[in-house]
Amino acid sequence: MQREIDCLVTGATGFLGRAVVNGLLANGASVRCLIRPGYNLLPEQSLATLLAQSANSHMVQGNLLSPEHTAQAVDGVRVVYHLAAETRGLPATVFAGTVVGSKNLLKAILRARPQRVVLISSLNVYGLANASPRNIVTEDAALDTHPERRDAYTHAKIWQEQLFQEYLAGSRIELTILRSSYIYGPGQRQLPVRLGLSLGGLLLQARSRRKLAITYIDNCANAVIFCGTKPEAANEAYNVVDDDAPTGVEYLERYRRCTNQLCAVRLPFAVLLALCYVNRLGNAWSAGQIPLILTRYKAACSWRGHQFSSQKLRDLGWRQPISTEEALALAFPDPASAKQPLDLPLRSAS
């Protein structure tokens, strides 16, 4: 089959997807973006304009839940960047958008046979409930064997990874998995899960003195594209974590200075475990009316201060293009420096 398009990007309208598409176009690649039917393209007009300026690059409407749409999107593509996933909603919605959609994509990939697939996963897939926080987490760490004790998104991402490895085993189609840390950048106002438990405008902050596992949006997009073009990246998994990450205290200070919309309470890990016990009692007493949002298993996986390494990716030759200090300044500009003097007209004497 003659290749017509260099890359297919699913999830192109997402936070990371837009940055990946921009990076691919800047490198001269032709790009096909799969957009859900009925998606409001008004916020994405700049993306549509960029695609129109590149030869053979375009948006196509389709849904990964449709085998026909998925087959058309993959046809004639050399590299598939799979970024699409459901992050919110009911567990059934998250599972369908992440796992069922991926299964349709894999069936289309096996028919179209692109050269490489780059799957974007998460550091959350590691099973850390019983792992010592003194040990650096590398790609050799095992995936969580009890994802049902976590959240729907983590459960779906583990299923997704296992599906890709199972379907592409022995196919001679290259698979690269990137397990990204929390992605931050301008316009991203969510907080890293590993910072603590968010309850509306209140943050119960855990392990505030440990460094956060985070990556700036442009750095993460650069790593994604790097792994799609580097021959040695085939059939491997890589963590994506920026160097010189700030501690939880430092990150939160920048966040609050920029947004001024959060109250944070620092809690020792033992206190969080006590809250887990109280939540479990309340859930049992209310026959499920009080949701079980805090468990010892979730707390152990997220808030014991585990540190992650991306040395394997750096050994491959990747370097983050934007330093962490510069990235933090771009993501959280100083409100004082952002204010510009107003050039107001003089009032008329009349």
- Of 177, 191, 215, residue with least CA distance to 83: 177
In a domain? residue 117: yes
Please report the pLDDT score of residue 114 as a whole number: 95
- Cα 165 to Cα 156: distance, rounded to the nearest angstrom: 14
More confident call, 299 vs 117: 117
| Number of domains comprising the chain | 1
CA terminus-to-terminus distance, the chain? 78
Least confident of 176-180, 236-240, 289-293: 289-293
- For residue 337, pLDDT beyond 70: no
CA-nearest of 81, 61, 69 to 17 is 81
Using an 8 Å Cβ cutoff, are 281 and 255 in contact?
A: no
Burial of 282 (0-12, 13-18, 19+ CB in 10 A): middle
Rounded Cα distance, 207 and 305, in Å:
6
Q: Is 248 exposed, middle or buried (0-12, 13-18, 19+ CB in 10 A)?
A: buried
Residues of the domain holding 189: 5-195+212-251+307-332
126 belongs to a structural domain: yes
Q: 144-203 pLDDT, tens per residue?
A: 999 888 888 899 999 999 999 999 999 999 999 999 999 999 988 788 889 888 877 788
Q: For residues 171 and 279, what is the distance between their CA atoms, to the nearest angstrom?
A: 47
We report the CATH number of the domain holding residue 35 as: 3.40.50.720
pLDDT in tens, 82-112: 998 877 777 888 888 888 889 999 999 999 9
Whether 289 has a pLDDT exceeding 60, the answer reads yes
Beta-bridged to residue 61, according to DSSP, are 35
- DSSP-derived secondary structure letter, 338: H
Q: At what angle do helices 152-168 and 101-112 cross, to 10 degrees?
A: 20
Does residue 245 fall inside a structural domain?
A: yes
Query: 257 in a domain, yes or no?
Result: no
DSSP letter string over 195-252? GEEEETTEEEE-STTSBP-EEEHHHHHHHHHHHHH-GGGTTEEEEE--SSPPBHHHHH
Q: What percent of the chain has pLDDT over 70?
A: 92
Domain assignment present for 89: yes
Cβ–Cβ < 8 Å for 9, 31? yes
For position 187, what pLDDT does the model report? 81
Averaged pLDDT score across all residues of the chain: 87
Closest CA relative to residue 80, chosen from 115, 39, 35: 115
**Is residue 67 domain-resident?**
yes
Does residue 204 sit within a domain? no
In a domain, 139, yes or no: yes
* Rg for the chain, CA atoms, rounded: 22
